[in-house]
């Protein structure tokens, strides 16, 4: 089990890299995360939804994602509540004041999913959540040491040197653990080091002496790694290769708006990964000036996020953007915001009725049953091309069949909406939309999944070269 000193230290990618390394070496390996808290989710072909990181890890293993890989998914709807998804299906709302008590009851289902994966595969790689040492969360824990104790799983503890204080955080985490939990920690890892690792030798020896645990190595910071992460938005953009020409006047300029409950923001990954696209998450409304395309991503609380847009001047900036010929794309919750109204009679996400921006002639009603499905088929707009994606939503809106897989388009053609996540991952379809809608004549580029496969191999190579994996090889045999 890979656990961390904090959220965002790289646990998800470390598990993905180890999954790819083991799979390449002929090991039947499967990823597992007992409890995930994220609005970045993926639909499983067999039904249900799981955290997007586990879907990536399944890809690293050469497997289709299944709900057993992430049996408990918490999707925040604000500071004090989250939608509870168990075995891929919505099971109500988890409230902050009942968090510890209610999640503890889920441990038998978590262990059952873990055992099923263990029966089907030779090796299970487990990812923890957040920090290993949270005294306020230890009672009833099913995500970190609580699960590790129940399943008797050895732990590798990882810290992120890029954020600073990694040796103190690793030592402090070990000191904060109760003795039974501390005994499960088998080894330590330092992640995201920039520079000459030999400069850390004294500190590494000090850490090993103080913790009485081996330090397996220091994994370098990997630039230009275009793999989706749940906690960090597009860290891979730092250090990307540059174009032969520094003249970026022909670049497509794309911006996204990251409201408080934004979800499935990886829909913008294809733009962020393309060197020919000048992509940014817009920090304030003035940043929309000069963009060709603005994307409103999904939302786990559409009414609240729409209110956030209105109260902070984003709506006026979007109106100005459209007035000067800019395009706006709404995906899932973003589509609902662009419509006429959002009806929520059961209070699934917000008030009974919320007025939308009215730029698309659609009305949305939230249904009690969440629709979760993988989709593939032939597009009707802009050309007859195959595409694939997935849908995760309570909302239902009437769609123009001639625009499929889009739902609606404004009268002037500047605003469009779709419920389809992952729609732009396929290069050919992405190119067709951008050429027809924005007049962008560049070549089609690369399928995002091809990039993921290449980068998973890069990640596995770096992990293999950076870490002493003899403890792992004692369990699975020689790694290649």
* Mean of pLDDT values over 190-199: 91
Residue 145's nearest CA partner among 171, 115, 182, 187 is 182
- Indicate the pLDDT class of residue 198, thresholds 50, 70 and 90: confident
Residue 122 has pLDDT above 50, yes or no: yes
Distance CA 2, CA 158 (A): 7
470: which 2 tokens? Answer: 């003899």
* Mean of pLDDT values over 269-293: 93
At 241 the pLDDT is 41
> Residues with Cβ < 8 Å from 136, sequence gap 6 or more?
none
In this structure, the number of other CB atoms found within 10 A of the CB of residue 313 comes to: 12
> Active site includes 341?
no
Residue 348's nearest CA partner among 309, 300, 381, 389 is 300
At 237 the pLDDT is 47
Between 63 and 226, the more confident residue is 63
Residue 234 has pLDDT above 50, yes or no: no
Distance CA 145, CA 69 (A): 18
Residue 238 has pLDDT above 60, yes or no: no
* Mean of pLDDT values over 170-188: 98
At 97 the pLDDT is 80
* Mean of pLDDT values over 300-329: 97
Residue 115 has pLDDT above 80, yes or no: yes
Residue 267's nearest CA partner among 394, 424, 419 is 424
In this structure, the number of other CB atoms found within 10 A of the CB of residue 395 comes to: 23
What are the angstrom distances between the C-alpha of 466 and each of 96, 123, 186, 276, 457?
40, 22, 18, 32, 14
Strands 81-86 and 89-95: antiparallel
Beta bridge partners of 409: 416
Q: Work out the angle between the directed axes of helices 11-24 and 448-466 (0-180°, nearest 10).
A: 90
Q: Is the peptide bond before 405 cis (omega within 30 degrees of 0)?
A: yes
- Indicate the pLDDT class of residue 253, thresholds 50, 70 and 90: very high
Distance CA 225, CA 235 (A): 8
Beta bridge partners of 328: 294, 415
At 448 the pLDDT is 92
The mean of the pLDDT values for the chain is: 93
* Mean of pLDDT values over 339-366: 95
What are the angstrom distances between the C-alpha of 378 and each of 98, 310, 330, 338?
46, 36, 21, 25
What are the angstrom distances between the C-alpha of 222 and each of 19, 68, 216, 432?
17, 30, 18, 32
Is residue 462 within 8 A of residue 13, CB to CB? The reply is: no
At 231 the pLDDT is 59
Per-residue pLDDT tens over the stretch 26-36: 999 999 999 99
Per-residue pLDDT tens over the stretch 34-89: 999 999 999 999 999 999 999 999 999 999 999 999 999 999 987 788 999 999 99
Beta bridge partners of 330: 296, 417
Is residue 219 within 8 A of residue 244, CB to CB? The reply is: no
Active-site hit among 321, 394, 421, 431: 421
* Mean of pLDDT values over 205-226: 95
Active-site hit among 218, 332, 394, 431: 332
* Mean of pLDDT values over 419-429: 96
Beta bridge partners of 377: 387
Distance CA 92, CA 70 (A): 17
Is residue 479 within 8 A of residue 22, CB to CB? The reply is: yes
Q: Is the peptide bond before 167 cis (omega within 30 degrees of 0)?
A: no
Residue 249 has pLDDT above 70, yes or no: no
- Indicate the pLDDT class of residue 246, thresholds 50, 70 and 90: low
Residue 102 has pLDDT above 50, yes or no: yes
Per-residue pLDDT tens over the stretch 2-23: 999 999 999 999 999 999 999 9
Beta bridge partners of 327: 293
> Active site includes 121?
no
In this structure, the number of other CB atoms found within 10 A of the CB of residue 112 comes to: 12
- Indicate the pLDDT class of residue 197, thresholds 50, 70 and 90: confident
Q: For residue 265, give the DSSP letter.
A: G
Query: What proportion of the chain, given as a percentage, has pLDDT over 70?
Result: 96
Q: For residue 59, give the DSSP letter.
A: H
The rounded radius of gyration (Å) of the Cα atoms in the chain is 23
Range list of H helices, 7-106: 11-24, 52-61, 99-104
Is residue 94 within 8 A of residue 78, CB to CB? The reply is: no
Residue 407 has pLDDT above 60, yes or no: yes
* Mean of pLDDT values over 120-124: 98
Residue 156 has pLDDT above 90, yes or no: yes
Is residue 464 within 8 A of residue 18, CB to CB? The reply is: no
Distance CA 466, CA 474 (A): 18
Query: What proportion of the chain, given as a percentage, has pLDDT over 90?
Result: 85
Half-sphere exposure at residue 25, Cβ-oriented, CA atoms within 13 angstroms: 21
Residue 461 has pLDDT above 80, yes or no: yes
- Specify the 3-state DSSP secondary structure of 3: strand
């Amino acid at each position: 089990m890979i656990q961390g000193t904090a959220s965002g230290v790289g646990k998800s990618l470390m598990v993905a890299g180890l999954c790819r390394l083991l799979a390449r070496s002929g090991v039947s390996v499967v990823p597992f995360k007992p409890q995930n808290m994220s609005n970045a989710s993926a639909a499983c072909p067999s039904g249900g939804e799981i955290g997007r990181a586990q879907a990536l890890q399944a890809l690293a293993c050469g497997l289709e994602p299944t709900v057993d890989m992430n049996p408990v998914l918490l999707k925040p709807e604000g500071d004090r509540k989250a939608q509870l998804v168990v075995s891929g299906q919505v099971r109500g709302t988890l409230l902050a004041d009942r968090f510890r008590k209610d999640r503890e009851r889920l441990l038998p289902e978590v262990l059952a999913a873990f055992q099923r994966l263990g029966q089907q595969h030779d090796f299970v790689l487990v990812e923890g959540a957040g920090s290993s040492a949270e005294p306020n969360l230890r009672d009833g824990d099913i995500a970190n040491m609580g699960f590790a104790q129940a399943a008797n799983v050895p732990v590798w503890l990882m810290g992120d040197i890029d954020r600073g204080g990694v040796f103190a955080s690793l030592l402090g985490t070990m000191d904060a653990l109760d003795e039974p939990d501390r005994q499960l920690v088998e080894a330590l890892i330092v992640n995201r080091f920039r520079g000459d690792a030999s400069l850390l030798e004294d500190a590494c020896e000090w850490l090993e002496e103080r913790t009485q645990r081996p330090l397996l190595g220091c994994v370098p910071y990997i630039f230009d790694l275009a793999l989706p992460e749940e906690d960090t938005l597009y860290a891979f953009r730092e250090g990307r290769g540059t174009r032969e020409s520094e003249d970026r006047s022909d670049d497509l300029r794309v911006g996204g708006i990251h409201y408080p409950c934004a979800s499935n923001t990886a829909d913008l990954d294809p733009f962020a990964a393309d060197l020919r696209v000048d992509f940014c998450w817009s920090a304030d409304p003035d940043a929309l000036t000069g963009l060709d395309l603005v994307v409103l991503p999904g939302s786990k609380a559409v009414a609240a996020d729409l209110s956030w847009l209105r109260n902070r001047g984003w709506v006026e900036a979007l109106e100005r953007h459209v007035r000067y010929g800019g395009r706006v794309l709404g995906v899932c919750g973003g589509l609902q915001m662009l419509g006429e109204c959002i009806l929520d009679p059961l209070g699934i996400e917000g008030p009974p009725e919320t007025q939308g921006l009215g730029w698309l002639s659609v009305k949305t009603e939230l249904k009690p049953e969440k629709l979760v499905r993988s989709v593939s088929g032939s597009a009707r707009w802009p050309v007859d091309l195959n595409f694939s994606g997935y849908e995760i939503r309570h909302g239902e809106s009437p769609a123009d069949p001639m625009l499929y897989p889009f739902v609606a388009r404004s009268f002037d053609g500047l605003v469009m909406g779709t419920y389809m996540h992952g729609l732009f991952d396929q290069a050919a379809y992405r190119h067709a939309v951008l050429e027809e809608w924005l007049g962008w004549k560049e070549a089609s580029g690369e399928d995002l999944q091809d990039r993921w496969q290449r980068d998973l191999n890069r990640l596995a190579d770096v992990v293999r070269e950076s870490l002493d994996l003899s403890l792992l090889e004692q369990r699975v045999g020689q790694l290649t």
